[in-house]
Amino acid sequence: MQKKVLRFQLNGQSMELLVSPDETLLDVIRDQLSLTGTKKGCGKGECGACTVIMNGKAVNSCVVPAMQAMDAEVETIEGIGTSDNLHPLQETFIDYGAIQCGFCTPGMIMSAKALLDKNLTPARLDIKEAIAGNICRCTGYVKIEQAVLAAADKMKENKGQ
């Protein structure tokens, strides 16, 4: 198969890569760009482990053909914080024990971030809807919901400064 040029913004940086027509956005992120925070779980868009934000919307990167990201803005877990300066969601997931094995955490955080980018006063139902496509087998979701609410409060405080 003949490769095509894909241009997009990834975590604020311009990317230009050659991709095969059968590659997914997940393949490009993990295999070509070596960003392994985005996980491959089911490969069918059902578990949410591969969730990234594309043009402001949470998407399952395992089912997004790479070429659909042409000229898009894509955010992965690596783009939202650093070990020295965590994103409020990363902080609260740690503080509230919303992580156990950690496999679902990047996708869960990216789904929550897509919500909080649009709504800093989510109700619990909003959070449940935002993370509905993310499966966690460890936590039972209560701590995740609490962490998202706490992150929303932190983000509101940061905006006020």
pLDDT of residue 110: 98
Length of the chain as a residue count: 161
Q: Which CATH architecture has domain 88-160?
A: Orthogonal Bundle (1.10)
For 66, phi then psi, to 5°, come to -55, -40
pLDDT of residue 124: 96
CA atoms within 13 A on the CB side of 32: 16
The dihedral built from the CA positions of residue 63, 66, 68 and 74, taken in this order, carries a sign that is positive
Tell me the C-alpha distance between 5 and 124, whole Å: 42
Domain ranges of the chain: 4-79, 88-160
pLDDT of residue 159: 79
pLDDT of residue 161: 54
Task: Give every CB contact of residue 153 below 8 A, 6+ residues apart in sequence.
Answer: none
pLDDT of residue 140: 79
Domains 4-79 and 88-160 share a fold: no
Instruction: Please state the pTM of the whole predicted model.
Output: 0.95
Collapse the DSSP code of 160 into the 3-class scheme (helix H, G, I; strand E, B; otherwise coil) and give the result. helix
pLDDT of residue 1: 76
The closest alpha carbon to 111, from 148, 58, 149, 67, belongs to: 58
For the chain, which residues score pLDDT lower than 70? 160-161
Pick the CATH number of 4-79 from 3.40.50.720, 3.10.20.30, 3.40.50.1440, 3.30.1310.10: 3.10.20.30
pLDDT of residue 27: 98
For 51, phi then psi, to 5°, come to -65, 130
Report the side by side order of strands in the sheet with 73-75: 13-19, 4-10, 73-75, 51-54, 57-60
* Tokens representing residue 161 in the block: 């400064």
